[in-house]
């Protein structure tokens, strides 16, 4: 666990998720399904899918790759990076956040070239 998470009064470590938040999350996730969804994403929008391979929200990486495949199959420019041994909020791990930040910046630079 990260200490900064535990000290944050707005973090889920200190407050349980309410039912409305769960409803909105489920509604959002139910929309991100299949090539039909991917075809609605603007074709010119580059996508960088990142996550931890130990994150149950992303189905331990499977959901991240599935989303990437849907986007790639519909002609989108998409790149994926899973961080081995990490869970959710990979940008908050002290030992990893620099690498995550660099990956995001590098992706933006690639898109601008």
Give the global pTM. Answer: 0.76
pLDDT tens-digit readout, 29-81: 788 888 999 999 999 999 999 999 999 988 899 999 999 999 999 999 999 99
The 10 Å CB-count burial string (b at 16+, else e) for 63-79 is bbbbbbebbeebebebb
- Distance, in Å, from the CA atom of 16 to the CA atom of 92, rounded to the nearest integer, reads 19
Q: With bands split at pLDDT 50, 70 and 90, how would you rate the model's confidence at 1?
A: very low
Q: Is pLDDT above 70 for 5? A: no
Q: Tell me the domain boundaries of the chain.
A: 1-31, 35-112
Q: Give the residue from 76, 77, 78, 94 showing the smallest Cα distance to 86.
A: 94
pLDDT tens-digit readout, 90-108: 988 999 999 999 999 999 9
């Amino acid at each position: 666990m990260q200490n900064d998470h535990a000290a944050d009064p707005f973090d889920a470590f200190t407050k349980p998720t309410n039912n409305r938040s769960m409803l909105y999350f489920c509604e959002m996730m139910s929309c991100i399904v299949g090539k039909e969804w991917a075809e609605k994403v603007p074709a010119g929008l580059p996508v960088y899918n990142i996550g931890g391979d130990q994150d149950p929200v992303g189905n331990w990486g499977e959901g991240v790759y599935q989303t990437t495949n849907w986007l790639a199959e519909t002609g989108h420019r998409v790149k994926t990076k899973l961080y081995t041994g990490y869970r959710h909020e990979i940008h908050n791990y002290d030992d990893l956040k620099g690498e995550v930040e660099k990956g995001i910046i590098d992706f933006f630079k690639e898109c601008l070239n």
